[in-house]
């Protein structure tokens, strides 16, 4: 028998042992633990959504979206005011938070000298601000509105201000990441052609960062749309029987309505609240899906 | 440059010989057949990154319509010197430049000199092809647009630049397509075309072929030799064969470790005609490097 054949057989014996070191008892137990953790996390979520959906099922009708809430006729109570109110709040939140957030992020990434102590202070603070409980932003918004001399509580401007303050750090942080992801070479290429830093930022960096900025903004808004706590503090009503008409209009929001209805004794109203939770979830999932779509569609690999 | 330095830029071109002989003693060699005058000159150039002394006392003159190669081992400061020549080092936090960089007798580090204007005269091509995420056409048109160049016909300018970079025939039917669809070598020639579209005087190239395959490298090298008749080219390269093939003069840099800190400071060892450097170098360190005994 040749040496080569012997070697081949020895190698085969070593490789084809029929067992794998990836399949020891310890690793299988660990794998099961991982599966269980995953299963547990997902199941809790599924159970929550399913029970809410079942509870709200009788109320999945057009009236849920088109009617106002009514104590007199709870079986046809709708969330028209809350849905429209949430949309108005989102619009003004975006108007306030997006330009400010992008501008702040671009300053910090492209113009600020990272070695200056005040810029480092801003850096640290931004990270902390993103972790501040949302109710604190509600208090801040109340103070700002009082300082600005608005007497009315619970108007679109106040609610949007609270939500804008809430998501501003999120927008700044995600925009900075998007801007940072634009390679240095693109900036160098632009500057080496005689473009100014300003031109480079406007014509190269920002356009390239738009998908990332859009994704971060939408995720920030989807966080804001589900918030009730800061809106409670700002004084938004739990129920409003008219559509919002402008920044100064009294308004409610979907989470506010859900919050106020779940504490009602009437079964029909709690049913309506469950249905409204599903509506809110659909809105949030829709926003997140849009963010994922934008990210996948426009994301560039450098 | 639109401000006062403009008068200086168009003034005297002085012979390179004087500066060269300071670097290398026997200046009685025959110079290249074409007339040689200094376009740029580094005088006592020192570069620091924070406390780190990156480049020590470089004196180097670059001749008009020549290709000057800067070679040397990694960390010898050759790229740093190159980036000083159009003030790209300004963009590095903590970078400090001492000494002078003369461009037609104007110190580009003097007070009142606008680095943006400097870069329109002294263009740069980078190591990794870095086209903008735009169409081929817009890549070329970008420079003239941002600098506000007076252009009669942008289409003509784009064609001229692409022809200048020997890329026109390959891309003339897809000018509106993304530059990212081009091959690496085409992208690098596009970057060269983009640079010449702003009509610079000097083109700096920082290892322009290190990310390219041999065939693309050969095309870029041919292009460099073509461009020499209209532009002054200063190229940093790791590739000694490339320096030997394309350059008229070669500057050899090396890194000297500091005895106390161990930091390596780059310095110029020898600067001469390329043929001389590669056949009969005047310094032992150059000889060791080009013969492969070191670096």
- pLDDT tens, B198-243? 999 999 999 999 888 999 999 999 999 999 989 999 999 988 889 9
Position A302 scores a pLDDT of 60
pLDDT at A96: 94
B194 and A194: CB-CB below 8 Å? Answer: no
Range of the domain at B75: 5-290
For residue B293, give how far its alpha carbon lies from the nearest alpha carbon of chain A (Å).
Answer: 34
Q: What is the pLDDT of residue A67?
A: 82
CA proximity to B91, closest of B61, B119, B60: B119
pLDDT band at A2 (very low <50, low <70, confident <90, very high): low
**Residue among B91, B119, B133 whose CB faces A194 most closely:** B119
Region A255-264: mean pLDDT is 88
Give dist(CA A295, CA A6) in Å, integer: 56
User: How many structural domains comprise chain B?
Assistant: 1
Interface test with B, best of A108, A191, A193 (most B CBs within 10 A): A193
Q: B91 to chain A, minimum CA–CA distance in Å?
A: 9
Q: What is the pLDDT of residue A139?
A: 93
How are beta strands B264-273 and B52-63 bridged, if at all? parallel
Is the pLDDT reported for residue A74 higher than 80?
A: no
Closest chain B C-alpha to A216 CA, distance in angstroms: 21
Query: Which residues in chain B are contacts of A188 at CB distance < 8 A?
Result: 88, 91, 124, 126, 130
Shortest CA distance from A113: residue in chain B: B93
In a domain, residue B295? The reply is no
Q: What is the pLDDT of residue B10?
A: 38
More confident call, A156 vs A77: A156
Domain boundaries, chain A: 65-298
B119-147, pLDDT tens digit by residue?
Answer: 999 999 999 999 999 999 999 999 999 99
Share of chain A above pLDDT 70, in %: 97
- CATH number at B34 reads 3.40.50.300
Report the residue from A113, A194, A207 with minimal CB separation from B146. A194
A76-103 tens-digit pLDDT: 788 888 899 999 999 999 999 999 999 9
Q: What is the pLDDT of residue B257?
A: 83
Residue that is written with structure tokens 């509105």 in the block: A145
Who among B94, B126, B147 is closest to A189 (CB)? B126
Identify which has the larger pLDDT, B97 or B262.
Answer: B97
Question: Was domain A65-298 assigned CATH 2.30.40.10?
Answer: no
Strand B95-103 and strand B38-49: the pairing is antiparallel
Of chain B, the percentage scoring pLDDT greater than 90 comes to 56
Quick check: B206 and B83 in contact, CB under 8 A?
Answer: yes
């Amino acid at each position: 028998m040749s040496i080569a054949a012997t070697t081949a057989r020895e190698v085969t014996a070593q490789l084809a042992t029929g067992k794998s070191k990836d399949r020891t008892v310890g690793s299988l137990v660990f794998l099961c633990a991982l599966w269980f953790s995953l299963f547990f996390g997902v199941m809790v979520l599924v159970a929550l959504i399913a029970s809410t959906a079942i509870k709200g099922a009788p109320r999945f009708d057009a009236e849920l979206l088109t009617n106002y809430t009514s104590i007199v006729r709870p079986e046809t109570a709708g969330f028209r005011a809350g849905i429209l109110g949430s949309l108005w709040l989102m619009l003004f939140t975006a108007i306030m938070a997006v330009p400010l957030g992008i501008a702040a992020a671009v300053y910090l990434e492209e113009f600020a000298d990272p070695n200056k102590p005040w810029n480092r202070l801003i850096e640290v603070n931004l990270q902390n601000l993103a972790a501040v409980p949302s109710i604190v932003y509600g208090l801040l918004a109340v103070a700002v509105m009082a300082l600005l001399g608005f007497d009315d509580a619970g108007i679109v401007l106040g609610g949007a201000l609270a939500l804008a303050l809430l998501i501003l750090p999120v927008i700044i942080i995600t925009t900075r990441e998007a801007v940072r992801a634009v390679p240095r070479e693109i900036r160098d290429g632009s500057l080496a052609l005689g473009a100014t830093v300003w031109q480079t930022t406007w014509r190269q960096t920002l356009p390239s960062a738009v998908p990332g900025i859009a994704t971060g903004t939408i995720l920030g808004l989807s966080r804001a749309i589900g918030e009730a706590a800061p809106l409670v503090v700002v004084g938004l009503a739990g129920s409003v029987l008219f559509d919002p008409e402008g920044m100064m209009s009294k308004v409610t929001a979907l989470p506010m309505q859900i919050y106020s209805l779940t504490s009602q004794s009437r079964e029909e109203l709690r049913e309506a609240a469950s249905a409204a939770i599903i509506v809110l979830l659909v809105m949030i999932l829709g926003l997140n899906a849009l963010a994922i779509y934008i990210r996948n569609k426009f994301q560039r690999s450098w | 440059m639109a401000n006062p330095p403009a008068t200086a830029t168009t003034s005297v071109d002085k012979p390179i010989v004087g500066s060269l002989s300071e670097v290398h003693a026997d200046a009685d060699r025959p110079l290249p057949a074409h007339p040689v005058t200094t376009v740029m000159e580094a005088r006592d150039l020192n570069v620091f990154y924070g406390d780190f002394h990156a480049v020590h006392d470089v004196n180097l003159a670059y001749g008009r319509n020549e290709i000057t190669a800067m070679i040397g081992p990694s960390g010898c400061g050759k790229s740093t010197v190159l980036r000083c020549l159009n003030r790209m080092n300004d963009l590095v936090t903590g970078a400090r430049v001492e000494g002078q960089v003369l461009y037609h007798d104007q110190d580009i580090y003097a007070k009142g000199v606008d680095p943006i204007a400097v870069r329109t005269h002294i263009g740069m091509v980078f190591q990794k092809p870095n086209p903008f995420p735009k169409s081929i056409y817009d890549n070329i048109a970008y420079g003239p647009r941002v600098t506000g160049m007076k252009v009669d016909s942008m289409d003509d300018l784009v064609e001229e630049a692409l022809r200048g970079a020997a890329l026109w025939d390959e891309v003339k039917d897809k000018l509106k397509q993304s530059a990212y669809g081009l091959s690496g070598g085409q992208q690098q020639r596009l970057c060269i075309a983009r640079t010449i579209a702003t009509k610079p005087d000097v083109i700096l190239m920082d290892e322009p072929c290190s990310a390219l395959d041999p065939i693309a490298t050969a095309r870029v090298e041919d292009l460099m030799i073509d461009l020499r008749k209209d532009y002054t080219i200063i190229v940093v390269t790791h590739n000694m064969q490339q320096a030997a093939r394309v350059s008229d003069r070669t500057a050899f840099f090396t890194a000297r470790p500091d005895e106390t800190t161990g930091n390596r400071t780059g310095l110029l060892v020898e600067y001469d005609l390329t043929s001389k450097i590669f056949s009969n170098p005047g310094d032992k360190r150059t000889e060791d490097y080009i013969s492969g005994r070191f670096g």
